[in-house]
Structure 1
């Protein structure tokens, strides 16, 4: 089973009211998945997002085991970019993700899955365009 370390500050954030009873996804933000906010070859493996869902998504069924007991999932595709020693931290209002190879993303986003899907239907991405 894939594992992720959530620092105490990150676990505290994810245990807040905003996330209560929700399913959380860790996705690679490269255009490869249905919740990718931006994307294209220029961002592959360099940007990540936490997606908030009201219920589980069968396309993201790989649990990320963590000591905080947070219901966090990813996909087999996204696992390609998540190495050993995966750690998510929250410091100074910024979320970062790293693994044993180094920093993966120093400015992760959090987004509601329903908002992302609605924006895509209108042709909107996070930056207004892909690379």
Structure 2
């Protein structure tokens, strides 16, 4: 069973944005997934994004159990970047993610609506500086 520790400040942020009512995907934002906003070989395992969905995505079936009860999922692929002790926090206006092997995996985790990401991709829109 995959678990993640969520700080109270992170949970409060999710509630403030009403994301506690949504499906959340934690993805490695490396250009390899359908919701990946940025990335390329130089960013593999260093950039992460929370994708907000209204409905579950069958490609992301690994539930990240947490004490807050958030519906947080990832994929088998994304799990290769996480060691035990996975944790997320929110301080000084930024979401961070770490695990027992890394003091910080990413100090500025992005949040994006899945529908917006897919619509942008359909139009050929990518993030500025999105590849290496």
Using structure 2 for the length normalisation, give the TM-score.
Answer: 0.94
The count of aligned residue pairs is 131
Q: Answer with 17-26 or 98-107: which moved more.
A: 17-26
Q: How does 1:73-92 map to 2 (within 5 A)?
A: 73-92=73-92
Gaps (5+ residues) in structure 2?
A: none
Question: If each structure's strand is expressed as a fraction of its own residues, which one has the higher value?
Answer: 2
> Is the Cα contact below 8 Å between 2:99 and 2:105 reproduced in 1?
yes
Q: Say if 2:37 and 2:130, in contact at 8 Å, map to a contact too.
A: no
Consecutive aligned runs of 4 or more in structure 1 exceeding 6 Å deviation: none
Q: Which runs of 5+ in 1 are unaligned?
A: none
Secondary structure of residue in 1 paired with 2:13: helix
Following TM superposition, by how much is the alpha carbon of 1:127 offset from its aligned partner in structure 2, in angstroms? Answer: 2.0
The alignment's TM-score, normalised by the length of structure 1, stands at 0.95
DSSP 3-state at the match of 1:15: helix
8 Å contact from structure 1 (residues 61, 75) kept in 2 = yes
Tell me how large the CA RMSD over aligned residues is: 1.1
